[in-house]
Structure 1
Amino acid sequence: MGLTILVIGSGGREHAIAQKLIQSPKVKTVFCAKGNPGMKKDGIRLVDIAEDDHPNLIKFAKENGIDWTFIGPEIPLLNGIIDDFADAGLFAFGPLRNAAVIEGSKDFAKKIMKKYEIPTADHKTFSDFATARAYVIEKGAPIVIKADGVAAGKGVVVAKTVKEAIDALKELLEDHKFGVSGTKVVVEEFLVGEEFSLLAFVRNEEVYPMVIAQDHKCAYDNDLGPNTGGMGAYSPVPQISDELVKEALETIVKPTVQGMMTEGRAFTGILYTGLIATADGPKVIEFNARFGDPETQVVLQRLETDFAQIIDDLLKGNQPIIRWKQDGYSLGVVVAAEGYPNVYEKGSQLPDFSDFLTEQIYYAGVKQQGEQLVSDGGRIYLVQASGKSLAEAQEAVYRVLKKVDTKGTFYRNDIGVKGLK
């Protein structure tokens, strides 16, 4: 018979998730709501229901015999989609609303870290501009300003000067740039070190770590420009030792999962821990309650065992078998619309990638115009390649990008460079 699965979301992350699921011999059909037309190339079936329309998603799942649903983005999780599916008697993979708050409120996450002695940056939370401003002046720069709520990866300013920090506070607390997400801000110390992402499958107290990745948040080469949702990633990260990853698991990920259990907020789903390797050991930058984008597009390429079987086992109380490739590298580069993450144009024609057989294209902000795919978002697509070495994977991706027409778009030319040093 085979499983019939629904994936919720429409970006490159959901394309990678749905593609990995459809490759399983145990899977018959993968639907994606809303998905994007680029996914159809992989046999994924699109469903025209918005990701926040819980009643119609539940209705669709019931009417189409969906075995279980995988939630990609954070907003439905924060809105309690897992709770709603459970109330309807349906299996769905992700954290309940009261556990997803670890991503939904940076202030909540900091309180958990303080209570359970999980290493992170020194910080303070403010809802008043004047007191936040006084704190920034007292602490000096560089300093980090974060919107308390979710802001599509753009609610963080790493301020190099006090003026830049105060401008960011004003935008959030007085100009309400991110609406309710910015009614509170977390101001924290600037940490120095290499960043890396440690994702894990979690079921209550059980933690199954994935291979680590390194994301590139700034828009331009050499980590310049504004913060984005992520401009590229690679996995594994050679400059981060296995010992450091083990330390992060034991001192950060496992105590966090235990702490959530103790708080009555048991977490099941994908826990994303954004970390920085400081001189004092690994510290938390952020938690997400779901797969990262673009980490997913590179990390899932390194999974050897059946992804659909893993999720099925986690949902049904069985012990999952999870193995990762021990050799080789996976690297992906995001192509974004000129102007992203600020004002950008839509409607650029996408290149034809049919000549490239070993590289993967994961589509995100695209729509169909006749026979042609055109850009319809900030991050348009990601080109991913694998190689025996990091240099080989990197070279394969940039070879594709140099061959195709990327007019009206931009991408970083230095994804993976830190791992080559």
Structure 2
Amino acid sequence: MKILVVGSGAREDAICQSLLKNPKNVVFCAPGNDGMKLNGIKTISIDEDEFSHLANFAETNEIDYTIVGPEDPLVNGIADFFKSRKLLIFGPTKEAAQIEGSKSFTKKLMADAGIATASYQEFTDLQAATDFLKTDAEFPIVIKADGLAAGKGVYISPDQTDAIEKVTELLDGHKFNTRRVVIEEFLEGEEFSLMAFVDHKRFYPMPLAQDYKKIFEDDKGPNTGGMGAVCPVANISTEIEQTAIETVIKPFVKELYKQGIKYTGIIYAGLIMTKNGIKVIEFNARFGDPETEVVLPRLQSDLSEIIEQILHHKKITEIEWEKTGLNLGVFAVSKGYPIKQVSGDLGSTDDFRSCPLTTNFASVRKENHRLISNGGRLYLVQTQSQTLSEAQNEIYRELDKMEQENIFYRRDIGKNSI
């Protein structure tokens, strides 16, 4: 098949590499990044928001179908645009992508489906939000920008002063173009991620993963887009996994269909195991990042065939996954990320080619046989091993060989799976 993947990050790199396991596939990534070329991926200089140019490329090159990686084009209606041009695309419509684009929309869906989540209040008015924080709130408390914020629009405020500061940034300063905030109770417990392929009423769960969002070891500091991930999750039992499927994914997919939303694509559930059971932290409308980088390498079935069957609404009888060991991935990020990252040299392309482990590239560009940082999260190094300690030793041995001046990485990714 000829397949177009939309996006430019490590997630899209991982999707492309999974598709290329079938040697008969031809895979393009738009816009991709210079690092992906080291992995043999064909990149196309069309930005993810240039829907017309992307559709023209798909038509001209007789692309069998398109897969959308990031959330922004989905929320902005790329699936609707492609469908209007009679082009197959794997990803939810603009209406369906509201499960990520609007936390308010998703909270209402969960209420209708009877899915457990944190209690919450919504505010568009700064004074009303401030009054609530001064009179009715219990701390710590969670403050979320209602729209997209590249994984950085969630704050855990320890006290009233910090909480008022955050809602002021969002509702008065309109950080992340925010016009509405959701203020919800702080949930304590073990977090994990559950993704599923969805075809209207049908869904096919993937193995559980766990990502590490805080910038520093021991889950300290501000949230990032994700500093690494592990799959499967050793400290989440099979029983909890099945409960999550039955009480979260199944009723959510059913409720979407019931409300007339024929969802096609990936549903991502960010979950937490509390003392009162599983609760939903968030839903996303696409493959998680960095979870995809450790989940898809465990896929034994052909990803391209799975997606083709879903797009033609054919029932899939079985999806096979690796049953032993684990996959671990660690992100190298720019120093100063996520506040004010520095840019600079990351090493020669030969340094990266000689790495024996899988590298998924994100915000990098090439200059004279060198890779240069081009954003916050730069590249993820991933491996599959039988034990966590083996995986960590392999990854940190390779990361420590890389040019260190402009990068930073956590050294405890996977710590919850000991």
Does the alignment reach a TM-score above 0.5? yes
Query: Is 1:11–1:365's contact at 8 Å kept on the other side of the alignment?
Result: yes
Query: Is 1:125–1:186's contact at 8 Å kept on the other side of the alignment?
Result: yes
The answer to whether the aligner puts 1:222 opposite 2:222 as a matched pair is no
Aligned-residue offset at 1:75 = 0.6
The answer to whether the aligner puts 1:259 opposite 2:255 as a matched pair is yes
CA RMSD of aligned residues (A): 1.1
Aligned-residue offset at 1:348 = 2.5
Matches within 5 A, 1:254-293: 254-293=250-289
User: TM-score, with normalisation over the residues of structure 2?
Assistant: 0.97
Query: Is 2:196–2:205's contact at 8 Å kept on the other side of the alignment?
Result: yes
Distance in 1 (CA, whole Å) between partners of 2:59 and 2:355 is: 39
Distance in 1 (CA, whole Å) between partners of 2:390 and 2:207 is: 19
Could you say which residue in structure 1 is the equivalent of 2:315?
A: 319
The answer to whether the aligner puts 1:92 opposite 2:89 as a matched pair is yes
Query: Is 2:347–2:402's contact at 8 Å kept on the other side of the alignment?
Result: no
Structure 1 counterpart of 2:371, from 365, 370, 373: 373
Aligned-residue offset at 1:404 = 2.2
Distance in 2 (CA, whole Å) between partners of 1:128 and 1:354 is: 52
The answer to whether the aligner puts 1:329 opposite 2:326 as a matched pair is yes
The answer to whether the aligner puts 1:164 opposite 2:162 as a matched pair is yes
Q: Secondary structure at the match of 2:27?
A: strand
* Deviations, residues 346-387 of structure 1 (Å, cap 9, x unaligned): 232335133332x11110000111221111010000010110
Query: Is 2:139–2:158's contact at 8 Å kept on the other side of the alignment?
Result: yes
Distance in 2 (CA, whole Å) between partners of 1:249 and 1:133 is: 37
Aligned-residue offset at 1:44 = 1.2
Matches within 5 A, 1:297-308: 297-308=293-304
Q: Secondary structure at the match of 2:336?
A: coil
Could you say which residue in structure 1 is the equivalent of 2:354?
A: 355
> Deviating runs (4+, > 6 A) in structure 1?
none
Could you say which residue in structure 2 is the equivalent of 1:53?
A: 50
Q: What letter is aligned with 1:18? A: C
Could you say which residue in structure 2 is the equivalent of 1:39?
A: 36
Structure 1 counterpart of 2:238, from 226, 235, 242: 242
Could you say which residue in structure 1 is the equivalent of 2:392?
A: 394
Runs (5+) with no aligned partner, structure 2: none
* Deviations, residues 29-59 of structure 1 (Å, cap 9, x unaligned): 1111000011112221111111001011000
Distance in 2 (CA, whole Å) between partners of 1:386 and 1:291 is: 20
Q: What letter is aligned with 2:382? A: Q
Q: What letter is aligned with 1:248? A: A
Q: What letter is aligned with 1:5? A: I
The answer to whether the aligner puts 1:136 opposite 2:122 as a matched pair is no
Aligned-residue offset at 1:280 = 1.2
Distance in 2 (CA, whole Å) between partners of 1:26 and 1:319 is: 23
Q: What letter is aligned with 2:352? A: F
* Deviations, residues 43-78 of structure 1 (Å, cap 9, x unaligned): 211111110010110001000111110000001111
* Deviations, residues 114-141 of structure 1 (Å, cap 9, x unaligned): 1221100011110111111222232231
Distance in 2 (CA, whole Å) between partners of 1:350 and 1:85 is: 39
User: TM-score, with normalisation over the residues of structure 1?
Assistant: 0.96
Query: Is 1:26–1:309's contact at 8 Å kept on the other side of the alignment?
Result: no
Aligned-residue offset at 1:318 = 2.2
The answer to whether the aligner puts 1:344 opposite 2:313 as a matched pair is no
Distance in 2 (CA, whole Å) between partners of 1:311 and 1:140 is: 44
Query: Is 1:143–1:189's contact at 8 Å kept on the other side of the alignment?
Result: yes
Distance in 2 (CA, whole Å) between partners of 1:26 and 1:255 is: 37
Aligned-residue offset at 1:164 = 1.2
Query: Is 2:138–2:185's contact at 8 Å kept on the other side of the alignment?
Result: no
Query: Is 2:6–2:69's contact at 8 Å kept on the other side of the alignment?
Result: yes
Could you say which residue in structure 2 is the equivalent of 1:384?
A: 382
Q: What letter is aligned with 2:166? A: A
Distance in 1 (CA, whole Å) between partners of 2:331 and 2:296 is: 16
Structure 1 counterpart of 2:414, from 400, 412, 416: 416
Aligned-residue offset at 1:197 = 0.3
Q: Secondary structure at the match of 2:315?
A: coil
Q: What letter is aligned with 2:60? A: E
Could you say which residue in structure 2 is the equivalent of 1:208?
A: 204
Query: Is 1:333–1:383's contact at 8 Å kept on the other side of the alignment?
Result: yes
Structure 1 residues 24 and 239 mapped into 2: Cα distance closer, same or farther (>3 Å)? same
Query: Is 1:350–1:375's contact at 8 Å kept on the other side of the alignment?
Result: no
Residue-pair matches, total = 414
Distance in 2 (CA, whole Å) between partners of 1:318 and 1:262 is: 20
Q: Secondary structure at the match of 1:48?
A: coil
Distance in 2 (CA, whole Å) between partners of 1:5 and 1:139 is: 49
Query: Is 1:26–1:308's contact at 8 Å kept on the other side of the alignment?
Result: no
Identity %: 49
Aligned-residue offset at 1:264 = 1.1
Query: Is 1:30–1:44's contact at 8 Å kept on the other side of the alignment?
Result: yes
Q: Secondary structure at the match of 2:392?
A: helix
Could you say which residue in structure 1 is the equivalent of 2:27?
A: 30
Distance in 1 (CA, whole Å) between partners of 2:362 and 2:202 is: 32
